[in-house]
Amino acid sequence: MRLATWNVNSIRSRIDRVTSWLERADVDVLAMQETKCKDEQFPTLPFASLGYEVVHTGSSQWNGVAIASRVGITDVAVGFDGQPTWEEASEARALGATCDGVRVWSLYVPNGRTVDSPHYAYKLDWLAALRRTASGWLAEDPRAQIALVGDWNIAPTDEDVWDIEVFRHSTHVTEPERAAFRAIEAEFPDVVRPFAPGPENFTYWDYTQLRFPRREGMRIDFVLGSPALAERVGHAEIVRAERKPGKKGTPPPSDHAPVLVDLT
């Protein structure tokens, strides 16, 4: 199975880029984040024409997560047990489905905004709840095939940002966020980093100030796998080429690149 994750930054704006890449990359399952549309607005037909089933949860022009699979979709779950709410509303940030025996969770972790924002506390609560729930899944079945994938809005190490001094007092790099990520990673290892180690293996580049051509990015998109899933990973990569601008007159790319893994 070839499994990928991609923060598409508006699926309706980038449907042609996404489906074209799916075809070229021969992807079996794609988890998407930041779809920015309601369920009834999601462009299902282009996926269906390529043989993909799609599940999606979204209620506004913000957030939104989806899973497209050509190897089946069962046991769909919107949100995980204990997922916190924001301003008394459950946001569209987590979607689970079983695809050919693999439990895939498309996750869009809250941004946190600023370290003194209530959204930062919400982000830490969200991550703590995910850790507790995911740990429970492994306790129930240590051999479960689980993939926690998506935009984590955390750069776990200093080398995961182009200049740590630029972000020193910002979210994404604070020790509480990194500790929350490490707590999840302790049970669900990062299965991509062994294939793409070292600095500058970024997954996100801001649109401003020519960040992409200047190689000024962040590594914030990850595939974390249960131990049984990690054993199956034969290859993984960050598909940086999909962040490059397309032909003149076409929509700009997402500010994130896809991340993919091959399971044997």
Instruction: Give catalytic residues, as residue numbers.
Output: 108, 151, 256
> Mean pLDDT over all residues of the chain?
96
In the chain, % of residues over pLDDT 90: 92
**Beta carbons within 8 Å of 255's beta carbon, 6+ residues apart:** 7, 9, 204, 205, 206, 207, 243
pLDDT in tens, 182-224: 999 999 999 999 999 988 999 999 999 999 999 999 999 999 9
Q: How far apart are CA 35 and CA 39, in angstroms?
A: 10
Report whether 151 belongs to an annotated binding site.
Answer: yes
Q: Is 255 annotated as a binding residue?
A: yes
In which band, very low, low, confident or very high, does the pLDDT at 251 lie, cut at 50, 70 and 90? confident
Percent above pLDDT 70 for the chain: 100
| 88 labeled binding residue | no
Q: What is the mean pLDDT of residues 101-123?
A: 98
Question: What integer pLDDT is reported at residue 250 of this predicted model?
Answer: 78
> Do the bridges between strand 102-108 and strand 146-151 make them parallel or antiparallel, or are there none, so unpaired?
parallel
Return all residues near 90 (Cβ < 8 A) that are at least 6 apart: 79, 83
**Model confidence at 148, in pLDDT bands (50, 70, 90)?**
very high
Instruction: Quickly state the pLDDT bin for 247 (edges 50, 70, 90).
Output: confident
CB atoms within 10 A of CB 118: 12
- For the cut 80, the answer to whether the pLDDT of residue 249 exceeds it is no
Q: Is 119 annotated to bind ligand?
A: no
Greater model confidence, 248 or 40: 40
Length of the chain measured in residues: 264
Retrieve residue 202's tokens. 């970024």
| pLDDT over 90 at 229, yes or no | yes
What's the CA gap between 59 and 125, in Å, rounded? 22
Name the pLDDT band for 89 (thresholds 50, 70, 90): confident
Is pLDDT at 100 greater than 90 in this prediction? yes
Model confidence pLDDT, tens digit, residues 8-51: 999 999 999 999 999 999 999 999 999 999 999 999 999 999 99
pLDDT at 88 (0 to 100): 81
Average pLDDT of span 75-93: 94
Q: Count CB-CB contacts under 10 A for residue 105.
A: 25
pLDDT of 61 reads 85
CA distances, 134 to each of 96, 125, 191 (Å) = 12, 14, 16
* Structural fold of domain 2-263: Deoxyribonuclease I; Chain A (3.60.10)
Amino acid making up residue 73 = I
**DSSP of the chain:** -EEEEEE-S-HHHHHHHHHHHHHHHT-SEEEEE---S-GGGS-HHHHHTTT-EEEEE--SSS--EEEEESS--EEEEES-TTPPPBTTB--S-EEEEEETTEEEEEEE-----STTSHHHHHHHHHHHHHHHHHHHHHHH-TT--EEEEEE-----SGGGBS-HHHHTTSTTSSHHHHHHHHHHHTTS-BSSTTTS-STT--SB--SGGGTTTTT--B--EEEEE-HHHHTTEEEEEE-GGGGS--STTSPPPPSB--EEEEE-
- What mean pLDDT is predicted for residues 66-91? 95
Under the banding of pLDDT at 50, 70 and 90, the label for residue 60 is: confident
Tell me the sheet residues that pair with 103: 98, 146
Q: Return d(Cα 46, Cα 258) in angstroms, integer.
A: 19
pLDDT at 20 (0 to 100):
95
